[in-house]
Structure 1
Amino acid sequence: MRGDEDGRGAGAAGPDGPRPGVRLGAAELGAEPGERASLVQFSSAFCQPCRATRRILAEVAALVEGVEHIEIDAEARLELVRALGIEKTPTVLVLDAGGRIVRRAAGMPRKADVIAALGAAI
């Protein structure tokens, strides 16, 4: 995926990288993660690129068995946004089956990039 693909985890709002053992599960996501991977999208109400990103991620999740698309309203989940260092919407996190962040990108991704990023998670 294009963007800031640094894989920073929860609580890693700075350039220090992920904290060991950080995982996002159903409690943090507000939904059940995918069996194989999850595409987590942080959106805001008036974000035009968020709508297109929603369509792209939903299409990819429908194509790949065991992958879920989870959209989070950034304004409603400010504590999580701050903990993850989310600075703009859309921001997409690719989580592996264990809930670890394996890819991260800000901005609207291309479908091919999302599919390629899933390779790191599955």
Structure 2
Amino acid sequence: MIEEVTDAGFAARVLESPLPVLVEFTATWCPPCRMIAPVLAELAQELAGRVEIVALDVDENPRTAAAAGVLGMPTLALYRGGAVVAQVTGARPKAALRSWLDPFLPVVA
């Protein structure tokens, strides 16, 4: 299961993280969000120590979603060093997400 973040905890959990953080901007009413959730959970396990993956419900946390310019769900935004370095909207297969993420993640020796 992916940890949920809120407007109140977003800066500490995402912007100040020493690791890259993939934020899924999601909503309970969003079918593609429900489809991608298990894929993100698998990636979180596979990429542990290289990236954190969290979810933010846009209906419950509109301030952060608005500040990020999120217009569609799911939006996946990869934050590194407090800034967005990559962003996609829409559900993607696991292999496509992995290929999208890999160039931005630290290499494990």
What TM-score do the two structures reach when normalised by structure 1?
Answer: 0.67
Partner of 1:80: 64
Deviation at 1:64, TM superposition (A): 1.1
Match of 1:60 among 34, 38, 43: 43
Q: Residues 8-59 of structure 1, C-alpha deviation per residue, up to 9 Å, x if partnerless?
A: xxxxxxxxxxxxxxxxxx8325746765322210111111110111111111
Q: Which runs of 5+ in 1 are unaligned?
A: 1-25
Match of 2:85 among 93, 102, 114: 102
Match of 1:28 among 10, 17, 20: 10
Equivalent pairs: percent with the same residue? Answer: 28
Could you tell me how far apart the structure 2 residues matched to 1:55 and 1:34 are?
A: 23
Q: Residues 50-93 of structure 1, C-alpha deviation per residue, up to 9 Å, x if partnerless?
A: 01111111111110132221000000111111111100111111
1:94–1:117: 8 Å Cα contact kept in structure 2?
no
Could you tell me how far apart the structure 1 residues matched to 2:85 and 2:57 are?
A: 21
Q: Which runs of 5+ in 2 are unaligned?
A: 1-7
Say what the alpha-carbon RMSD is for the aligned residues.
2.2
Deviation at 1:95, TM superposition (A): 2.1
Closer, same or farther in 2 for the Cα pair 1:35/1:60, shift >3 Å? farther
Deviation at 1:115, TM superposition (A): 1.1
Write out the 4+ residue segments of structure 1 that deviate beyond 6 Å after TM superposition: none
What TM-score do the two structures reach when normalised by structure 2?
Answer: 0.74
Give 3-state SS (helix, strand or coil) of 2:9's partner.
helix
* Matched residues, number: 96
Could you tell me how far apart the structure 1 residues matched to 2:77 and 2:99 are?
A: 13
Closer, same or farther in 2 for the Cα pair 1:87/1:107, shift >3 Å? same
Q: Which amino acid aligns with 2:37?
A: R
1:95–1:121: 8 Å Cα contact kept in structure 2?
no
